[in-house]
Amino acid sequence: MQRPSPEVATRLFLRLVARDPVAPSDLAEAYLEPLIEAVRGRLGDLSDPTLVDDAVMDTLLRLPKEPEKCSGPDKLWTYLFMDARRDALNALDKQGRRDRRLRMVPLDVADKTETRNESVEETLLRREECPYLPEGVDIRAVRQAVDGILADPVDLRLVELITARVRGHEPYAEAMGIAHLPESEQKALVNRARGRLRAALRRLGARLE
């Protein structure tokens, strides 16, 4: 299972930032399998491989609540991978400590010892304290900006190039269909489009430097 293309990542990231209600489902569908494969590959053979599945699922359920934590569409895979891997390692560590504790505690005491494992419900309810929208964000303005980018295939391609830190004006001019124009004119038009989209992305919370 391959990781999603940059175009898919860009679209998903923008839809998450715009709080599109279907975006979390599409994120899970696009990333669940490849992420599980990647994290399992990194952690090697585990006695309980579902531990990785759970970590990846929790990561994919967390991001739509605070998509601004990911700095841009080009970082989406890395962000998800690192978050899921960290969660899986923590769970592994916790499991190891629990196993060690159980081996050391006499059985009659173990029977009376409350398990300290937080349930999924408790964890998620605790996380409920964070707001779903950052302070001062006008979601209508964000949606308008995102809709504008998604509706225009040229803008979407330019956003991909910008967030992938592609340098030089040629790829941009090609995407804009102005490669036939004199170079100075190409550069001027590319700079203008790039400036407009970079400003829009910054307003959406993407960190581009």
Partner 1 sequence: MTDGPRTETDRLLSRAAERAAADPFYLAHALRAYQAAETLDDAALAAWLGCPAEDLARLALCRRPGALFPPASPDYEEAFVEEVKALSDRFGVDAGRLAGVLRRTAFLEATAQTPAGESVSAYLMAARDRDNATLEQVPPETGADEGKDAEQ
In the complex, which residues of this chain contact partner 1 (CB under 8 A)? 19-25, 28-29, 32-33, 36, 53-54, 57-58, 60-61, 64-65, 119-121, 124-125, 128, 132-133, 139
Q: Which of 5, 67, 51 is nearest to 31 (CA)?
A: 5
Closest CB to partner 1 among residues 36, 190: 36
Minimum Å distance from CB 132 to partner 1?
A: 5
Count the alpha carbons within 13 Å of 126 in the hemisphere toward its beta carbon.
6
Minimum Å distance from CB 7 to partner 1?
A: 19
* CB contact set of 80 (below 8 Å; sequence gap of 6+): 31, 35, 56, 59, 60, 63, 70
Minimum Å distance from CB 86 to partner 1?
A: 18
Closest CB to partner 1 among residues 29, 99: 29
Q: Which of 203, 187, 194 is nearest to 163 (CA)?
A: 194
Closest CB to partner 1 among residues 58, 83: 58
Neighbours of 143 (CB within 10 A): 16
Report CA Rg, the chain.
22
Minimum Å distance from CB 44 to partner 1?
A: 20
Minimum Å distance from CB 47 to partner 1?
A: 19
C-alpha–C-alpha distance, residues 2 and 4, integer Å: 6
Closest CB to partner 1 among residues 57, 175: 57
Closest CB to partner 1 among residues 50, 191: 50
